[in-house]
Amino acid sequence: MLKVRIIPIVLLKGYSVVKSIRFTEMRNLGNPIVIARIYNSRNVDELVLLDIDASKNGSKIDSFTVEDVASECFMPLTVGGGLKSLEDIAEMLAKGADKVALNASARADEDFITRASEVFGAQCIVASIDVITIDGTYFVYSHENAIATAMNPIEWARRLEALGAGEILLNSVSNDGMMKVELVRLICDAVSLPVIAVGGVSCPEDAVAVVAQGASAVGAASIFHFTSHTPQCLRNACEANGYPVRKHFEIEFK
């Protein structure tokens, strides 16, 4: 069994880190460089950096911010937000990113996933899926248009795997604050790719529940920003329940 990864999710709005509640309410959390340093001191498994407004604004994640964050990271870094071309991906990798997350661009042009995978390798391409629940039914959510699409997320996950994606970043929009473990299980059962489950892990036990449904990694933000729980707490809980984790130690950040 692959070792479970605990991955902080860092959301950018402009040049500031924010925490969203169902993609609407925003709290400003400060400078991404400082936050990257903190997570680096905590020896997290990976870091995901996403510009949540880039696609909506017709721009892309700032390459200088990516470069600055990458210079502080000694862990794999995934970046996303408005990446629409192979040149965009190449630029992010040149700035120090290890992987890129593609969401709106994949929905707009399915072949983009295939081209990107062929050029950069599937291990570099993370397909991001935002999911919203309406009357008990799951739909793919379009953040840039703030609407639920007609796409079924389970079918879309299968399609992304067939197109060449190397990993799925699954974000439960409706349950930002309450990840639905059923959704995680459905996606994990549908694909053979590693799945990073994001959306509402509020305690270490939530992380264990998500992993129990088949997730290869747990992505979280609020639990690290607003509680006393650290990534190591989540790793310890997973390990205590029989799931292998990477061995790390944390040092105090000053």
Half-sphere exposure of 85 (CA within 13 A, CB side): 6
C-beta separation of 68 from 62 below 8 A: no
From the list 195, 236, 241, 186, the residue with the least C-alpha distance to 218 is 195
Q: What is the DSSP letter of 122?
A: G
Which amino acid, one-letter code, is at 52?
Answer: I
From the list 50, 100, 39, the residue with the least C-alpha distance to 75 is 39
Q: Decide if 130 is catalytic.
A: yes
C-beta separation of 199 from 152 below 8 A: no
The encoded tokens of residue 122 equal: 């599937």
The encoded tokens of residue 229 equal: 């729980």
DSSP β-bridge partners for residue 197: 170, 218
d(CA 167, CA 152): 18
From the list 182, 167, 97, 60, the residue with the least C-alpha distance to 131 is 182
Q: Alpha-carbon torsion 228, 217, 210, 102, what sign?
A: positive
Q: Which positions ≥6 away from 40 have C-beta within 8 Å?
A: 72, 73, 74, 75
Q: What is the DSSP letter of 3?
A: P
Which residue in the list 62, 130, 176, 206 is annotated as catalytic? 130
d(CA 163, CA 185): 21
- Could you list the active site residues? 130
